[in-house]
Amino acid sequence: MIEYEKPPRGFPVWLGILIGLLGLAVVAWGATRLASSFGGEAQTTIVAGQSVIVDIESGSSAEDIGNVLADAGVVDRASEFESYVKANGLGFSLQAGTYDLITGMGSEAAVEILRRGPELKDVYTVKIREGLWVSEILQSLSEQSPHSVDDYANALLGGGVVSPLFPGTPGNLADWEGLLFPANYEFFEDAAPATILQKMATEMQLRVEAAEWNRMEELDVTPYETLIIASIIEAEAKLDPDRPIISSVIYNRLRDGILLQIDAMLVYGRGERGVPTNVDKQSSSPYNSYVREGLPPTPIAAPGLRSLIAAGDPEDTPYYYYVLVDPDGSHGFSETLEEHNEKVAKARAEGVF
């Protein structure tokens, strides 16, 4: 209980009420902050109905398990799970192990599965690195899982995988470019191709939703266009410090109606890795940024988190050009074509490229 001293004579009653309300607001705010610090009550946006693998360690208490499930999005709050377990006297019946659960399934359903114990399935890990094309991702998945490239392609094209990031319904593999987040994932041995791909698509959706893209209106881009820019940054940048500066070059050229002239877009349009040629620069590909203005129709790679951040928050620079200037991957940036050409000549003379 909070007690307040009686205000002195002549003290305005309304001011006393206001002070009291402010005091209660501060206490409520402190209690909320405290609750989020203890017991895993902080909430994050997690899409319901998605498969998620959780590990319950031996000796875990109901509170421990509740925190694991809340972090994974299986239950809304750890405290609700703990209360349900204690109210039904089920604390000693929950079994440790690895489980394939569903986000948003709730405490009762989760407890029922944890009481039965984990199914005897093997779990394997797939590792997808940043910058891959969707065709390369499917190839990598096929090499790390029991499924073929065709299995994955059919899952993407058969409607079993969805992504709200694409403006429309993906009709071909190119439409899925940039929509699968590159990361390490764990799956049960019997996970279907659609389950694996949906996990990656959902992860990209969550990463984009969590990104601080508050400048989109200022930068005059849509969320999908920002994703395209992130993919270009991923394909071009070698070092993290360069990412927001390369981002600024892209935005500066878009703003002023200057052709992007980005080699990574040429390579993607050609469909084969390697150094672009003069023939590529004359092609009719929609990814030929030497003859076509603006952004390409789709992303050109799978962007990682650092490129997503850079795309939404470019540095404020006067630069319109960049070129690789060091074997370590560093880029040099220029405001004028003359400065740029000097850097190009120097890099060539030093054998950088």
Write down the pLDDT at residue 118. 83
Distance, in Å, from the CA atom of 171 to the CA atom of 22, rounded to the nearest integer, reads: 56
Distance, in Å, from the CA atom of 144 to the CA atom of 20, rounded to the nearest integer, reads: 62
Percent of the chain with pLDDT over 70: 87
pLDDT over threshold 90, residue 44: no
Percent of the chain with pLDDT over 90: 67
Write down the pLDDT at residue 17. 44
Write down the pLDDT at residue 11. 43
- Where along the chain do its domains lie? 51-116, 123-210, 216-317
Amino acid at 339: E
pLDDT over threshold 50, residue 188: yes
Out of 22-31, 208-217, 226-235, give the one with best mean pLDDT.
Answer: 226-235
Write down the pLDDT at residue 254. 96
Average pLDDT over residues 31-41: 37
Average pLDDT over residues 86-112: 91
pLDDT over threshold 70, residue 203: yes
Confidence grade of residue 45 (pLDDT, cut at 50, 70, 90): low
Least reliable range by pLDDT among 5-14, 157-166, 320-329? 5-14
Listed as own residue / partner, the contacts of 82-90 with beta carbons closer than 8 Å and 24 or more positions apart are 84/108, 84/111, 85/111, 86/62, 90/115
Out of 32-36, 105-109, 185-189, 213-217, give the one with best mean pLDDT.
Answer: 105-109
pLDDT over threshold 90, residue 339: yes
Top pLDDT among 311 and 3 is at: 311
What global pTM score does this model have? 0.71
Confidence grade of residue 120 (pLDDT, cut at 50, 70, 90): low
Over the chain, what is the mean pLDDT?
86
Distance, in Å, from the CA atom of 332 to the CA atom of 326, rounded to the nearest integer, reads: 9
Q: Which CATH number fits domain 51-116: 3.10.290.20, 3.30.360.10, 3.40.220.10, 3.30.1490.480?
A: 3.30.1490.480
Confidence grade of residue 92 (pLDDT, cut at 50, 70, 90): confident
Confidence grade of residue 320 (pLDDT, cut at 50, 70, 90): very high
Write down the pLDDT at residue 333. 96
What is the three-state SS of the chain?
CCCCCCCCCCCCHHHHHHHHHHHHHHHHHHHHHHHHHCCCCCCCCCCCCCEEEEEECCCCCHHHHHHHHHHHCCCCCHHHHHHHHHHCCCHHHCCCEEEEEECCCCHHHHHHHHHHCCCCCCEEEEECCCCCCHHHHHHHHHHHCCCCHHHHHHHHHCCCCCCCCCCCCCCCHHHHCCCCCCCEEEEECCCCHHHHHHHHHHHHHHHHHHCCCCCHHHHCCCHHHHHHHHHHHHHHCCCHHHHHHHHHHHHHHHHCCCCCCCHHHHHHHHCCCCCCCHHHHCCCCCCCCCCCCCCCCCCCCCCCHHHHHHHHCCCCCCCCEEEECCCCCCEEEECCHHHHHHHHHHHHHCCCC
Average pLDDT over residues 40-56: 71
Write down the pLDDT at residue 306. 95
Residue-wise burial string across 194-221, b where 16 or more C-beta atoms lie within 10 A, e elsewhere: bbbbbbbbbbbbbbbeebebeeeeebeb
pLDDT over threshold 70, residue 21: no
Write down the pLDDT at residue 325. 93
pLDDT tens digits, one per residue of 77-88: 999 999 999 999
Write down the pLDDT at residue 123. 84
Write down the pLDDT at residue 190. 85
8 Å CB contact between 47 and 103: yes
pLDDT over threshold 70, residue 4: no
